Amino acid sequence: MTVGDMPESFTHGVLLKAFADYSVALGRVKDGKTSWLGSGVLVRKGSHYGILTAHHCLHACSPEVQLGSHKGDKMCFLVNLGRSILVRPEELIEHALAVPKEDEFGPDLTFVEILSPERLGTFKAVSTFW
């Protein structure tokens, strides 16, 4: 059975509800405007919390997203029920897990870790980590 063969009541009911708590949209804030870059999943690995997303979501744009220092990019994350969380660049760090060798093919995965305990508390208050 493929996803297309599933009844709409299942895909829009059960699947949407099952994954909505973990899903997040990623955006970069520049000059007061948000540019949406892609989506990801809120995950926890041991004591590390963050967003698992495609590497190209942060690096296919120009200029590429910079995290981990005051000179980086402010980010906006849209989480459960449309709540937005603004995060300063020094509150996040990127861990590239699989960098594509070509634009369209190959592994493509990165982990954006939430470093700030205050910001992590905000995420935990309105969403769920896998």
Describe the strand order of the beta sheet including 23-30 as a list of residue ranges.
83-87, 74-79, 23-30, 33-45, 48-53, 109-114, 92-98
Task: Sketch the domain layout of the chain as residue ranges.
Answer: 22-126
**Residue 66: which of 101, 28, 31, 110 has the closest Cα?**
28
- Residue-wise pLDDT tens digits, 40-55: 999 999 999 999 999 9
Give the bridge partners for 34, in sequence order. Answer: 29
Report how far residue 85's alpha carbon sits from residue 70's, in angstroms, rounded to the nearest whole number: 18
Element (H, E) at 98: strand 92-98
CATH topology of domain 22-126: Thrombin, subunit H (2.40.10)
pLDDT tens column, 82-116:
799 999 999 999 999 998 887 667 788 999 999 99
High-pLDDT (> 90) share of the chain, %: 68
* 57 or 15, greater pLDDT: 57
- What is the model's pLDDT at position 38? 94
